[in-house]
Structure 1
Amino acid sequence: MFMQPEKDYLSAEEATELLGIKMQTLYAYVSRGMVRSFSGKGTRAKLYSREDVQRIRLRTMAQAGQVAVAASAMNLGPPIVPTSITEITPQGPSYRGQLATDLALKGATFEQVAELLWTGLWHETDLLWKASPITPRDKALLRSIPAEDARHQLIEILSLVAMQLAIGRGPLKDRLRSGRPLDAARGVVHGLIGCFGFLGEGGRYEEAKGGRSVSHSLLVAMSKPVSQEDRRLLDAVLVLLADHELSPGTFAARIAASAGTSVHSCIAAAIAASSGTEIAQRYEWLDEFQKSAKSTPALISKARKTLTSGQQLPGFNHPLYPAGDPRATVLMDLVRQRSSRPSPVKQVLALVDHLRMEYGMQPRHELAVVLACKSMGLPDGAPSALFVLARTAGWVAHILEQRLSNTMLRPRAKYSSKI
C-alpha cells in the first residue's frame, strides 16, 4: 500500500518557516503555480504541498551552492535534456505539435500515435502492425510462470519479457547496425500485450495475433468482449499516456540508449524504473482506496480523514497542471458518456465532484485511468500495466532521439558531507 512518511501538506506558518520567506512570497508562489494549496474543511486557512515547498527549498539551496544542483534540477526543475518529441503545455502533452487530448478525442489509435512519436509522420488511416510471433522457447518460459505470481508482479514480468524477446536476435553490435529499431519496438509491444493474458480468465501468457489492433488484442488477452465503445476508450487511455516528457522511466530509457544498449534493454530499464511506489503502484493504491469504501459517503469520509490528517490523497493535483490535468478531464468525460457505468465508477465520479467543490482539488490521470478500466470491467492490475504498455511508445521515441544526439548522459555529483 502507498504510504507517506510525513505530512504531505503544511500550514502557511510551516511553509514560510521552512523556506525562510514572507507570507506575501508564499502567496506569489501559489499564484504562479509553483506551490499547490487547498482549503481545509470548516476553516479559511489553506494548506500547502510539502513536496512543492521542499522543491523550492532545495532549488534555493542549490543556487547558493549548499547542496548538489541535481537535487533540485532533477525533480521537476529546469529542463536538462533537449527534445522535440513532447512538450508539456497547460492543455496537456503535445506530441510532435499535436495535443494528446485532441488526438484522443478524435479517436486516434495507439498505433497511429506511436508512429507519430517515432517518425513524426501522421497516418490518417488505421494501422495494423504485423504480428511478431515469439519463439516456442519463449512461449514455454512465459507460460511456466504461475498465474498468481504474474498477477502480483506483472510490471516486473513486463520488464523480463522485454529482455527475453532480445534473446536469439544476434549480437548487440549487429542489432545496432541493422537499423531496424522500429521492428524491434513493435515486437516488444506485441510481446507485452501477451502478458495481459495473465490478468484474463486463463491466467497465462496469450500471444497477440496478427490482423488485430492493439486495443482489440488487449481486450482478447484479458478475456473481455470486444466492443467499439471499449476499444475507443482503451485507445484513449493508451494515447493520453503515450509520453509525458522526462519521467523517471523515460530518463532511464535515454540513459540506457546513450550508453549504446539495445531497444529491448532500454525498454526493460524504463519499465523497471516505472515499477515502484511512485509511479505504477499509484494505480494499485487508488484501486485499493476505492474498494475500501462501499458507498459514496463512506468514500468521501475516508478522503476527508486522509486530507485533514495532513496526508496527500494520491490521484489528485498534478504539479505540472495547477488548473487540472487535461488528460484526466478527457478520460472522465469519456467515462461519463458511456452507455452504462458500474456503481464503483459512479461513486468515484461523485467523490471527484465533491473534492473539487469542497477543496478545489483536481483529479490526475492515474485516477481517470483507474475509472476508465473499471468502466470497461477490466481485471485488477490492468491500469498500471496499461500505463507501461502505453508509455512504451514514448520511450522508443526518446531512445531514437537520444541515439541521434551521440552523447552519453552522465550527470556529475557534487559531494557534500551533509545533505
Structure 2
Amino acid sequence: MMDWMTAEDAMAALGVRAQTLYAYVSRGRITAQTDAADPRRSRYSAADVAALADRKRRGRKASDVAQNAIAWGEPVLASAITTVARGCLYYRGRDAVGLSQSESFESVARLLRDQSAPDLVPVTDAAIAKGKTAGARLFATLAGRVGTDLPVAGRSPRSLAVDAASLLDAVVTAAAGQDSRDPAHERLALAWGCDADGADLIRRALVLLADHELNASTFAARVAASTGASLAASALAGLATLSGPLHGGMASRVAVFMAEVKRSGAQAATADRLMRGEPLPGFGHPLYPEGDPRAQALLERFETPKRWAAAAQAAEAAGSGRPNIDFALTALAKHLNLPDDAPFTLFATARCAGWVAHAIEQSQTGRLIRPRARYVGAPV
C-alpha cells in the first residue's frame, strides 16, 4: 500500500516551498491525493518524495541534463522573442498581460517578429479553404500554401515579414470562415455572433496566446524552419503538434472534466479524479507555480460561469493549483456561448503569430536543429 505524507513533511524532505511542491505535482513528479480526514488538504506520495529527494542529493550528469532538457528542463536554444520570468510572460521584454489591455493581435504579431512597419497584405479574392470546422480549414489553408510559398532559407527578415503578414491573414480568414480587412478579433466575433464586449475578450485572448516561449508546437515550427522550409510549412508543423491532447487539445480535456462537474458536483468530481491519481486538467502550470497570469488576466474581465467558479474553488482547495489558460478558454467559450471548438480555434489562430516569429528567427541562424538520441537499445 502506498504511504502518504503531509505537505509540510514533503516540503521539509525536499527543502522547497509550497509553490515548488505544487509545481512537482503539476509536472507529474509527485502523486497527490485529497486527505480523507480533511478534504481541504492534500497528501503526497512518500515514495515519490523520497525518489525526488535522492535525485537532488546525487545531482545530475551532463547526459542526464541533456536528456531532461526537452521536458521543462534547461534552455536548449537562444531566442529574443518570449520568456517567462518571475511568474510573468514577456514578448520581447514587454509584459504580455499589459499588452492585452489595449493592443491588437496584429500589432502583437508584428512585435513578436520584430517588425515596426504595418503589415503589407495583398488584397485577394482567394477562395476560403473548405472544411466543416475551423480546425479543418486551418490545416487545409496551411497545407495549400506549403507547395507555393518560398522557403525561408537565405531570405531577409523584411522579405519574410511580407509572407508572414499574408500567412496570418489567411489563417484568420480560415478560422473565421470569411474574409475581410477587419482586425482578427472583429472577424472572429462576427463569425461567432459576439457583441463589442465579446470581441474585446477575443482580442485579449488572442494577444495572451500569441506565443509562449519554446513550447512543443513552437519547437516543431523551429525545427521545420531550421531545414529552410517555408513559413507555411513551419506553421503547419506547429499546428499538427498543437492538435495533440496534451497541448492545444487540453481544452477538450477540461471540457470533459467540466461535464463530470455538472454530473456530480465540483468537490466530488475533483475528489474522484485525484483518487484515481489523475491531475485535474485546466489547473496548475509548471512555469507558473503562483498561477497562470494569462488565465487571471482573462478571467478577471468577465463573470466566471458558476460551474467553472465552483470547479476552480474545489481544485485550489484540493491543492491542484489555480486555473491555467486552458481553463480560462473554456470558461470564456461558455460565457460567450461559442462553438465547442472555439478554444482550439483561438489557440491555433493566435499561436500562429508565435510560430511565424520563431520560424523567422530560426531561419536567420542558418543552423539545422538536429539533436542526438541517447541509445538504450540492444548492444551493438
Q: Is the TM value for this pair above 0.5?
A: yes
Q: Any unmatched runs of 5+ in structure 1?
A: 1-8, 17-21, 198-205
Q: Map 1:170-209 to 2 at 5 A.
A: 172=151, 176=155, 179-197=158-176, 206-209=177-180
> 322, 334, 355: which one pairs with 2:301?
334
- For each residue in 1:16-46, what CA deviation from the matched residue of structure 2 results, as whole angstroms up to 9, or x when unmatched? 9xxxxx9844243756466237672434652
Residue identity over aligned pairs, in percent, reads 26
Which residue number corresponds to residue 133 of structure 1?
124
Distance 1:320 1:100 in 2: 15
Distance 1:192 1:10 in 2: 51
Which residue number corresponds to residue 155 of structure 1?
135
The residue identity in structure 1 corresponding to 2:266 is: L
- For each residue in 1:51-76, what CA deviation from the matched residue of structure 2 results, as whole angstroms up to 9, or x when unmatched? 999999899999347x7654311000
Tell me if the contact between 1:131 and 1:209 (Cα under 8 Å) persists in the aligned partners. Answer: no
- The SS at the match of 2:83 is strand
> 302, 312, 317: which one pairs with 2:284?
317
> 4, 21, 24: which one pairs with 1:35?
24
Which residue number corresponds to residue 338 of structure 2?
378
Tell me if the contact between 2:14 and 2:49 (Cα under 8 Å) persists in the aligned partners. Answer: no
Tell me if the contact between 1:159 and 1:269 (Cα under 8 Å) persists in the aligned partners. Answer: no
- For each residue in 1:223-250, what CA deviation from the matched residue of structure 2 results, as whole angstroms up to 9, or x when unmatched? x14x221121111111111111100111
Distance 2:79 2:58 in 1: 28
The residue identity in structure 2 corresponding to 1:75 is: A
> 93, 99, 104: which one pairs with 2:95?
99
> 201, 213, 217: which one pairs with 2:183?
213
Q: Map 1:2-151 to 2 at 5 A.
A: 11-12=4-5, 24-28=12-16, 32=20, 35-36=24-25, 40-41=34-35, 42-43=37-38, 46-47=43-44, 63-64=60-61, 69-104=65-100, 106-119=101-114, 121=116, 130=121, 132-133=123-124, 135-136=126-127, 139=128, 142-143=129-130, 145=131, 147=132, 151=133
Distance 1:316 1:195 in 2: 30
Distance 1:373 1:414 in 2: 43
Distance 1:232 1:51 in 2: 44
Shift of 1:167: 4.3
Q: Map 1:230-309 to 2 at 5 A.
A: 230-294=198-262, 298-309=265-276
Distance 2:198 2:367 in 1: 42
Tell me if the contact between 2:138 and 2:175 (Cα under 8 Å) persists in the aligned partners. Answer: no
Shift of 1:158: 1.8
Distance 1:53 1:383 in 2: 39
Tell me if the contact between 1:69 and 1:414 (Cα under 8 Å) persists in the aligned partners. Answer: no
- The SS at the match of 2:302 is helix
Cα–Cα, structure 1 residues 325 and 391, in superposed 2: closer, same or farther, change >3 Å? Answer: same
Cα–Cα, structure 1 residues 411 and 329, in superposed 2: closer, same or farther, change >3 Å? Answer: same
Q: Any unmatched runs of 5+ in structure 2?
A: none
Tell me if the contact between 2:115 and 2:161 (Cα under 8 Å) persists in the aligned partners. Answer: no
Distance 1:31 1:173 in 2: 42
The residue identity in structure 2 corresponding to 1:161 is: T
The residue identity in structure 2 corresponding to 1:208 is: D
Cα–Cα, structure 1 residues 368 and 129, in superposed 2: closer, same or farther, change >3 Å? Answer: farther
Distance 1:120 1:400 in 2: 11
Shift of 1:81: 0.7
Distance 2:249 2:272 in 1: 22
Which residue number corresponds to residue 19 of structure 1?
none
Shift of 1:383: 0.1
Which residue number corresponds to residue 414 of structure 1?
374
The residue identity in structure 2 corresponding to 1:135 is: A
1:399 and 2:369 aligned: no
- For each residue in 1:87-111, what CA deviation from the matched residue of structure 2 results, as whole angstroms up to 9, or x when unmatched? 102332101111111111x222111
Which residue number corresponds to residue 6 of structure 1?
none
Tell me if the contact between 1:255 and 1:409 (Cα under 8 Å) persists in the aligned partners. Answer: yes
Count of aligned residue pairs for this structure pair? 366
The residue identity in structure 2 corresponding to 1:282 is: M
- For each residue in 1:128-186, what CA deviation from the matched residue of structure 2 results, as whole angstroms up to 9, or x when unmatched? 874653534xx4xx33x4x2xxx3xx5354233112134445x6489947953222222
Cα–Cα, structure 1 residues 257 and 239, in superposed 2: closer, same or farther, change >3 Å? Answer: same
The residue identity in structure 2 corresponding to 1:155 is: G
Which residue number corresponds to residue 390 of structure 1?
350
Cα–Cα, structure 1 residues 405 and 168, in superposed 2: closer, same or farther, change >3 Å? Answer: closer
